[in-house]
């Protein structure tokens, strides 16, 4: 890399400190918005920074990422090339170009830019986070071996959670399933949002056991609402299907088989054939797999197929049956309706049950029987019947009934999901007010107050005297007020957190001085963590007590830290005992889930625990004439700490 002062951007910052500070602020704000996936607002901030300073490389790099994430690869290439005009060997820009050219199906140019990025990084002058960018670009390229090779070479580098996720993917794709699981465990610790890796770990374990045909794991994390078709489903869906089939509930297993049957992929054929031979799976699932294979043309109707049923391997022939219910079943169905209208519920129930015995696919009979079960405290049986009916013959009326059942169980999230599959035009007019009543309460559960209000008002326009709809509308007002109060409370909490992080600290502060920057509530929490008596002690007395304990027990405290906490502390010491708080939290996770007052609940995050033990302190320090939030280890502790000892 070019020296900071000798490059164009560095000279601008030195020559124009005021405008330079504004450029840095806009660039940082743009980066934060980019991290939150607020691409339009990020683009605006980054363009503002570039209008002040066209060679502000951080802003230019992040703007190219905005366009990449929008899939506007031509614009992303244009912005990344502008960076190369000033810095021809810029690692980050070459990585972005490599990722864009992969998407533009120009693999030769993609590999060329990636080779230049790796060559430049190997000189040892780039910041460490550029290695994470290289791993991301290699993932887009699908280069398992080079990712694994980089990870093996750079053991000392602290990879971010997404890089560790991708390293695990590379390991799994290379058949190193145990290593993949270990790396994914570390990724989950650093990135709580990557909980889907538990599914990946189980799917990798199933591959290792030979229960699932080998498949490649996807380098893109799964995202909600991601569109795909049956001819090119995302690779992650294979992991989820495999996990559901082996570890899910009976209903989830059926869904997995149905989902697999929709794939146009040879891997699916191998998987479904393998399911037939898995004796530990339920017989119903194996029969479902056989039907799917017949529908895909791999098994002929009436062909003898070996299936390993619960009682052992058997030759079974599969045949599709007519979906028209026999006349007797139809007559029983209409008798059930007649009995129900006459309030002869027991006779209606028996009629429907017999109709379903004669025609196990009779969805209308299932729906009517489910409604009888709902009203006779057989909720779980009713739910299963409605789900079966929908799987056989999806209809708005059945989904509406399922939504009502979920509301009865107070599971309004699932009620909303069911209502979203309902077409109002397909419901009888007298059901419309009830539909809006359910919809209003479901939105209310999601704190979508405007939508809830609209739903209740639409219902009242249809049924102005409906007391339940009136009560729902009144409840919206109360819940909205509660939501505003909670929002205000969170704002106050955020302000308190900012104040706590803005206390003045200097690099040479004493341990007592650092402890004195904490609130009494936090000092009390520290003392309790050390099992010290705190009754009737004033703040100054707590500071003295804790400082003495930390000095006397420093080495034993460090030896008892968790492995990742030790790693973080060693890194801090290596960096000279002081780094920016933003850099520390990006590397090891933030403290947002921790309580502000440690006497109520001790922090659980990695950074929070290091602060709880008096090893790391956070506050504002002057850096290059500008206040910055920094994390530091007091110098007197730094001189006593030897990373080799813990």
Domains observed in the chain: 8-152 (1.25.40.10), 502-645 (no CATH)
Residue 322 has pLDDT above 60, yes or no: no
What's the Cα-to-Cα distance from 71 to each of 65, 99, 104, rounded to whole Å?
Answer: 10, 11, 10
Long-range contacts of 66-69 (CB under 8 A, 24+ apart): 66/34, 66/39, 66/42, 68/96, 68/99, 68/100, 68/103, 69/34, 69/37, 69/39
pLDDT at 225: 40
294 and 300 in contact (C-beta within 8 Å)?
yes
157: Cα separation from own chain's centroid: 24
What does the CA dihedral 26, 32, 36, 42 come to, rounded to 10 degrees? 20
pLDDT confidence band for 5 (50 / 70 / 90) = very low
pLDDT the model gives residue 226 = 43
Q: Which of 504, 505, 507, 500 is nearest to 525 (CA)?
A: 500
At 202 the pLDDT is 92
Give the tens place of pLDDT for each residue, 220-275.
887 644 443 334 445 567 888 888 889 888 778 888 887 787 777 888 888 888 88
Nearest-5° angle of CA 229, CA 231, CA 234?
Answer: 65
Q: What is the model's pLDDT at position 361?
A: 82
Inter-residue contact 419 to 435 (CB < 8 Å): yes
- pLDDT exceeds 60 at position 1: no
Q: How far apart are CA 150 and CA 158, in angstroms?
A: 12
Quote the DSSP letter at residue 344.
-
Choice among 92-96, 155-159, 462-466 with the minimum mean pLDDT: 155-159
Q: What average pLDDT does range 106-115 have in this prediction?
A: 93
* CA gap 126, 118 in Å, rounded: 10
What is the per-residue pLDDT for 394? Answer: 81
pTM: 0.53
| Greater pLDDT, 320 or 60 | 60
* Mean pLDDT across 453-467: 92
Which pLDDT band, with edges at 50, 70 and 90, does 309 fall under?
Answer: confident
Best mean pLDDT range from 290-294, 364-368, 399-403, 610-614: 610-614
Measure the CA–CA gap between 76 and 231, rounded to whole angstroms: 29
Rounded percentage of the chain residues whose pLDDT exceeds 90 = 49
Mean pLDDT, to the nearest integer, of 96-115? 93
Query: What residues have CB less than 8 Å from 455, skipping those under 6 apart?
Result: 436, 437, 439, 440, 443
Q: What pLDDT score was predicted for residue 234?
A: 52
**pLDDT at 566 > cutoff 70:** yes
Mean pLDDT for the stretch of residues 452-465: 92
- Comparison of pLDDT for 589 and 262, the residue scoring more: 589
Rounded to 10°, the helix 250-261/379-392 angle is 10
* pLDDT tens sequence across 118-177: 988 888 776 767 888 999 999 999 999 999 998 888 877 888 889 999 999 999 999 999
Give the pLDDT of residue 321.
Answer: 53
Looking at the predicted structure, is the pLDDT value of residue 77 above 80?
A: yes
- The pLDDT assigned to 115 comes to 92
Half-sphere exposure of 572 (CA within 13 A, CB side): 33
From 225-229, 387-391, 528-532, the region with the lowest mean pLDDT: 225-229
* Tens digit of each residue's pLDDT (9 = 90 or more) over 10-21: 788 778 888 888
Q: At what angle do helices 345-358 and 327-341 cross, to 10 degrees?
A: 160
Average pLDDT for residues 83-88, to the nearest whole number?
87
The average confidence (pLDDT) of the chain is 87
Distance between CA 393 and CA 373 in Å, rounded?
A: 20
8 Å CB contact between 118 and 143: no
- Is the pLDDT confidence value at 369 over 90? yes
Condensed to tens digits (0 to 9), the pLDDT of residues 408-417 reads 898 999 999 8
């Amino acid at each position: 890399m070019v020296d900071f002062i000798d490059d164009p951007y560095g000279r601008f910052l030195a020559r124009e400190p005021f405008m330079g500070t504004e450029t840095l602020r806009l660039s940082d704000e743009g980066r934060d918005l980019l991290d939150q996936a607020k691409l339009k607002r990020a683009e605006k901030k980054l363009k503002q920074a570039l209008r002040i300073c066209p060679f502000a490389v951080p802003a230019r790099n992040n703007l190219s990422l905005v366009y990449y994430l929008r899939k506007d690869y031509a614009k992303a290439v244009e912005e990344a090339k502008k960076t190369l005009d000033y810095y021809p060997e810029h690692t980050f820009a070459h990585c972005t170009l490599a990722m864009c050219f992969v998407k533009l199906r120009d693999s030769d140019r993609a590999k060329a830019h990636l080779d230049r990025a790796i060559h430049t990084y190997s000189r040892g002058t780039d910041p460490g986070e550029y290695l994470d960018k290289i791993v991301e670009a290699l993932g887009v390229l699908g280069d398992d071996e080079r990712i694994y090779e980089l990870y093996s070479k750079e053991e000392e580098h602290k990879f971010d959670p997404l890089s560790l996720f991708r390293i695990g993917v590379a390991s799994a794709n290379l058949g190193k399933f145990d290593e993949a699981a270990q790396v994914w465990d570390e990724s989950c610790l650093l990135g709580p949002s990557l909980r889907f890796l538990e599914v990946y770990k189980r799917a990798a374990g199933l591959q290792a056991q030979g229960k699932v045909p080998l498949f490649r794991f996807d380098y893109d994390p799964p995202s909600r609402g991601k569109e795909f078709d049956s001819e090119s489903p995302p690779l992650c869906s294979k992991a989820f299907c495999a996990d559901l089939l082996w570890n899910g509930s009976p209903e989830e297993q059926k869904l997995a088989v149905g989902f697999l049957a929709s794939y146009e992929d040879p891997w699916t054929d191998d998987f479904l054939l393998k399911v037939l031979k898995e004796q530990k799976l339920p017989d119903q699932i194996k029969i479902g797999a056989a039907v799917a294979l017949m529908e895909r043309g791999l098994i002929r109707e009436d062909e003898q197929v070996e299936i390993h049923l619960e009682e052992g391997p058997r030759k079974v022939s599969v045949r599709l049956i007519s979906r028209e219910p026999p006349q007797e079943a139809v007559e029983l169905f209409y008798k059930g309706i007649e009995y129900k209208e006459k309030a002869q519920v027991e006779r209606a129930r028996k009629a429907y049950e017999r109709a379903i015995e004669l025609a196990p696919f009779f969805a209308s009979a299932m729906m009517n029987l489910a409604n009888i079960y709902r009203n006779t405290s057989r909720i779980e049986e009713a739910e299963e019947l409605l789900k079966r009916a929908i799987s056989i013959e999806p209809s708005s009326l059945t989904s509406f009934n399922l939504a009502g059942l979920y509301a009865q169980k107070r599971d309004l999230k699932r009620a909303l999901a069911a209502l979203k599959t309902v077409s109002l035009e397909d419901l009888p007019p007298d059901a419309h007010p009830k539909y809006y009543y359910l919809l209003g309460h479901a939105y209310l559960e999601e704190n979508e107050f405007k939508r809830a209000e609209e739903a209740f008002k639409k219902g009242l326009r249809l049924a102005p005297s409906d007391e339940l709809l009136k009560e729902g509308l009144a409840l919206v007002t109360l819940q909205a007020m509660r939501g505003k109060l909670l929002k205000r409370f969170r704002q106050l909490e955020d302000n308190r957190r900012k104040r706590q992080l803005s206390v003045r600290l200097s690099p040479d502060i004493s341990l007592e001085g650092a402890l004195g920057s904490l609130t009494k509530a936090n000092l009390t929490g520290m003392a309790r963590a050390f099992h010290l008596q705190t009754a009737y002690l004033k703040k100054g007395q707590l500071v003295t007590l804790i400082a003495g304990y930390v000095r006397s027990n420093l080495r034993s405290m460090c030896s008892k830290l968790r492995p990742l906490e030790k790693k973080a502390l060693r890194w801090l010491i290596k960096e000279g005992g002081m780094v920016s708080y933003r850099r520390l939290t990006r590397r090891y996770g933030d403290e947002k889930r921790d309580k502000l007052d440690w006497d109520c609940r001790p922090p659980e995050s990695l950074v929070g625990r290091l602060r709880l033990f008096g090893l790391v302190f956070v506050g504002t320090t002057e850096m290059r004439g500008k206040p910055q939030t920094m994390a530091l280890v007091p110098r007197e502790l730094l001189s006593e700490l030897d990373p080799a000892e813990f």
